[in-house]
Structure 1
Amino acid sequence: MITPSTLNELVDTVWPVAELLGLSCDHIHFELVDGEDIQALASYQGLPIRYAHWSFGKSFGRLKTAYDYRLSHIYELVINSRPYFAFIDRSSTSAQAMLIVAHVMAHVDFFGHSRLFAPTNRLILHQTARHARYLAAMRQEYGTERVESLIDAGLVLADFLGPVNASQAVGTDPADVIGFVARYSPVLQDWEREVLLMLRAEAQYFWPQQISKISNEGYATFWHTRILRHLALTGDRLWDVAALNAKLLEVHPPTLNPYVLGSLLYQAIYREQGLAGVFQARDFWDDVGLIRGALTPEIAQTAQLGVYREKDAGNAAVAADVEKIRQQLIQDVEHGGVPYIHVMEDITKSTGELSLWHNDDGRELDFYQLPFALAQIAQRLWGAAVQIRTIRQGAPHVARHNGTQWTDEAV
């Protein structure tokens, strides 16, 4: 277990080495927390102040169970704000904390330089605190059930928010589905529109993280390894560092380990282009760009990448060349794994039904969840039928929910 004074000593040791090697970081406020506290932070997606919602409690229960049964361990959380905040599990050893501090510094360097995070609201903590106060007031005025049902339905659309760095007004881009509903819904009251815009604003903050999981974690892993190699570690500390690093780099197919894949991709870039190439990849590439630009057969083999049959109980990998693996990976991480859905504005305004179009990219919509999602939108947000045009099993389909009945027809 580490103390604040020990943590300060570790920061003073790691920081100058990281800067000498090329990282640049603004001020980071480090905070030691208990394991249960860091799980609570993670359940709120890393933000200590957010509105109350049952989904955060569900997430906390899942994380705590995994921690109690030693299935997972969260060592740190970094908030991309100004200043940056880094929460570290106080049960870590000093050697583990040294690795974690180096890892955190690399995350902060990534946040500060990547084009993906340029539009990020640096005052996110102030914003989420304001959202929490507003929603608490709405619960008092309109009742918990009405607010909860609104949040439930709003979260269905939260990731469909259009270009994060666009200058268009809310709801004017066809991909900004949640903005369109907030702006044009015929049934929402003003306070309900405001809540949807709050959900949209928070989703905008998280979106860059959603499309850079491999590139961000890989970059941090690449750098904590380089930094620690330049530190004089005693035998005991070296053992603790190696043990934690090995745990981070464990591979359990078919689950993808972003630390492993990302760090291998950055290592390949470093061998070919040096640190200039690494920094260029940090500045411009999301997960898709990193995979497309750096994946090789050797990396695919080392990271134990394969193509897996969904219904194969043994999770046996299908023999595939690197190009097929690259294409599958890109499809999996493209657009953060979120389907491309647009509003068909002309049809919507002429029929009164909210008409959506799914731009099929080979990933079918989940037809188990789709009826429930459309029902939430129709009943709580639009007050009329919702339909979506998509491809199912290779054929055009129109799925529709009018608030009471679900239909799915080939067209």
Structure 2
Amino acid sequence: MSALPSDLSRPPLFTGADWDFDTLERIYRAVERVGTEELGLDIYPNRIEVITSEQMLDAYASTGMPLFYKHWSFGKRFLRDETMYRKGWQSLAYEIVINSDPCIVYIMEENTATMQAIVLAHAGFGHNHFFKNNYAFRQWTDASGIHDYLAFAKSYVASCEERYGVEAVERVLDAAHALMDHGVHRYHGRHHTDLRTEEKRERERREHGERIFNDLWRTVPGKKAAARKPGEAERRRALLGLPEENILYFLEKTAPRLAPWQREIVRIVRLIAQYFYPQRQTKVMNEGCATFVHHRIMTRLHQTGEIGDGAFMEFLHSHTNVVMQPDYDDRRYGGINPYALGFSMMEDIERICLDPDEEERRLFPAFAGCRDPYPVLRDAWANYRDESFLTQFLSPRLMKKHRLFRIVDDEDEDEIAVASIHDERGFREVRASLARQFDVSRQDPDIQIVDVDLEGDRRLLIRHQVADGIRLEPRDARRVLKHLANLWGYEVRLVEADEDRTYATYDAAPEPAS
């Protein structure tokens, strides 16, 4: 089903699999016409870069960024992916797209002309539109400043390596990387960063010194006082901004033994983690938007005769592979395919706008039968993340198509119970349960810094609030806690508990610097 209007035929953009840069230009202009004029997409200017397979592997290693500081883990990732690729155990992505202004789209030189059309539609217009318009990216990322900031980060880390040594810098980076998932602000309203001013701010911080070294940190730890004044603990926690879930932010601002250059490296890692945070919140929507856009654009180009039947069959083969959802007993199964779920939901919204049934008119009165799906889709792409999008738009018919149901696995019971199915009573519970699976705040463990022993040995106290009985893996917890202690400079204690009991306590002390 498509809401695109009919049009007169146009000359073909290419014949066969080969392409050159003139062909690429024609393809881009055709994709741009459909994307902007007919789908109403609003994008950053695109910068298309054609790269080799080795360059694609290099981009994999550095999280797709055009500039990045050096770290041993990137080389390890490159060697792993290169070995897998050379042996035929792993394929490469057809493209990588970067949330920036201009939007950088890397495309493989090995792609056929048809694949170049697909990836330009998918990345250059689908992902690009989503990056520019979705509220999570608008709130948390600075697309116009990311390139300048990465250049600053690369040069700053390199200068620290020259001045303080590679091992000293890697020690800080290793620790900060281990804590990256706990280095983001999850709620908007403070700490928004203009990346273009970061280099200037770094110089100001260096020139004016570290203001956080107040009287709290100038004293030498001694014996604990015999008695504490009432409200002292509350005052201490308020002064330090505790509890704090952004561990890297707390360390950057408060860790007493970090040198200014170490603090700046922690800040660099934290800001890059924050830059990627919206992508973790919108995987289904982002890929669903891009896949829907490339499907509609390629279908439209076939309707107008700009791509032939052979090219369209090649497109359908690639598209079907992308949106395939393996069954639970298939050896390829790895959970719900975000491409499959996202694309299905975009198509379903379009269908409900054009041809809803009575149940859908009752469930989605705001847009069911409106006859114009693209404003509805653009509004969804702009104003939701995965959890809220699923809660708002997942329909009973789509649940039946994907055969979704909710099960309850109670450790006190011998059997697993099917609690809800896609009927009138249960579909809301199925929808809410599925939405929770895509809530990043539930995927990541709830770990917060809750107190500091200022009067004694300055031990940092951290709490993991256990949810649904899911605990930390002890070996990983000890390793990460060691990195945290290295940044804090004193002992660290992690308590793993819920409202009813304490499960485990982990302690770590900083390792001496080599």
TM-score by length of 2: 0.71
Query: Which structure's CA Rg is the greater one?
Result: 2
Query: Is the counterpart of residue 54 in structure 1 residue 160 in structure 2?
Result: no
1:297 CA drift (Å): 4.8
String of CA shifts for 1:53-108, please: whole Å, max 9, x gaps.
12222322343344332533301111111111101111111111111111110111
Aligned-pair Cα RMSD in Å: 2.8
Aligned to 1:128: 150
Secondary structure class of the residue paired with 2:351: helix
Aligned to 2:384: 285
Aligned to 2:448: 342
Q: Choose the corresponding residue for 2:316, options 234, 239, 242.
A: 242
Which letter does structure 1 place at the counterpart of 2:382? D
8 Å contact kept, 2:465–2:498: no
1:199-348 counterparts in 2 under 5 A?
A: 199-231=269-301, 232=305, 233-252=307-326, 253-272=333-352, 273=367, 274-300=373-399, 302-303=401-402, 321=421, 326-335=431-440, 337-345=443-451, 347-348=452-453
Structure 2 residue runs of 5 or longer lacking an equivalent are 1-17, 194-239, 327-332, 353-366, 368-372, 410-415
Aligned to 2:464: 358
Closer, same or farther: CA 229–181 of 1 in aligned 2, 3 Å: same
Further displaced range: 294-303 or 154-163: 294-303
Closer, same or farther: CA 307–57 of 1 in aligned 2, 3 Å: farther
Closer, same or farther: CA 258–304 of 1 in aligned 2, 3 Å: farther
Aligned to 1:8: 25
Closer, same or farther: CA 162–111 of 1 in aligned 2, 3 Å: same
Further displaced range: 79-88 or 269-278: 269-278
Aligned to 2:173: 151
TM-score by length of 1: 0.87
Counterparts of 2:75 and 2:122, CA distance in 1:
28
Which letter does structure 1 place at the counterpart of 2:421? D
Which letter does structure 2 place at the counterpart of 1:35? S
1:156 CA drift (Å): 2.0
8 Å contact kept, 1:384–1:403: yes
8 Å contact kept, 2:446–2:465: yes
String of CA shifts for 1:158-186, please: whole Å, max 9, x gaps.
22222364325998472221111111112
Further displaced range: 194-203 or 389-398: 389-398
Closer, same or farther: CA 374–326 of 1 in aligned 2, 3 Å: farther
Aligned to 2:190: 167
Query: Is the counterpart of residue 37 in structure 1 residue 63 in structure 2?
Result: no
Closer, same or farther: CA 111–282 of 1 in aligned 2, 3 Å: same
Query: Is the counterpart of residue 112 in structure 1 residue 132 in structure 2?
Result: yes
Which letter does structure 2 place at the counterpart of 1:26? Y
1:159-198 counterparts in 2 under 5 A?
A: 159-160=181-182, 161-163=184-186, 165-168=188-191, 172=241, 174-198=244-268
Higher-RCO chain (CA-CA 8 Å, sequence separation at least 6): 2
| Equivalent residue pairs, number | 397
Closer, same or farther: CA 348–282 of 1 in aligned 2, 3 Å: farther
1:267 CA drift (Å): 1.9
Counterparts of 2:467 and 2:376, CA distance in 1:
30
1:309 CA drift (Å): 11
1:23 CA drift (Å): 1.0
String of CA shifts for 1:301-350, please: whole Å, max 9, x gaps.
5446678999xxxxxx99663556545543433226322322214x4545
Counterparts of 1:175 and 1:2, CA distance in 2:
51
Q: Choose the corresponding residue for 2:122, options 71, 87, 103.
A: 103
String of CA shifts for 1:104-149, please: whole Å, max 9, x gaps.
1011111111000113122111111111111111112222111111
Identity among equivalent pairs (%)? 25
8 Å contact kept, 1:353–1:386: yes
8 Å contact kept, 2:176–2:266: yes
8 Å contact kept, 1:377–1:386: yes
8 Å contact kept, 2:180–2:248: yes
